[in-house]
Structure 1
Amino acid sequence: MISALLTGLLMSFGAHSSTGDHSHHSGMVDHQSDNYWTAAPLLIPDKKRTRGFKRIIFKNLQADEATVHHGDAEESWTVAVKDNAAKIESRGGKQGGYHWIGALSEKEDLVQSVATAIYFPNPGPAPRGMLSLQKSALDISPVHLPREHQHFRAGENWDFLVRLNGKPLENTPVLFETKNRTREVFKTDQDGLVSIPFPFDFPEEDQSANQNAEGHNHSQARRKKASFVLTVEQYADDRKHITHFNYHYTTGAFYKKDLALGIGFALFGMIVAAPLLRKPKKGGKT
Structure 2
Amino acid sequence: MTGTEDTRVVSGEGGIGTLLRAALPSLPGIGSLPGVRKSGRRFDGLSVTRPPVTVERDHVEAYAGVCGFPAKDTVPPTYPHLLAFPLHMALMTDPTFPAPAIGTVHLENSLTQHRPVRVGETLDVAASVAPPKPHPKGQVFEFVTTVRAAEPDGAGEIVWDSTSTYLRRGAGDAGASWGTEFPDVSPGATVWRLPADLGRRYAAVSGDYNPIHLFGLTAKALGFDRQIAHGMWTLARSVAELENRLPDAVRIEAAFRKPVFLPGKVAFGSQPLDDGFAFTMTKPESHTVHLVGRTTSL
TM over 0.5, shorter chain: no
TM-score of the superposed pair, with normalisation by structure 1: 0.29
What TM-score, normalized to structure 2? 0.28
Task: Kindly name which structure, 1 or 2, has the bigger radius of gyration based on alpha carbons.
Answer: 1
Structure with higher RCO (Cα < 8 A, 6+ apart): 1
- More strand per residue: 1
Normalized per residue, the structure richer in helix is: 2
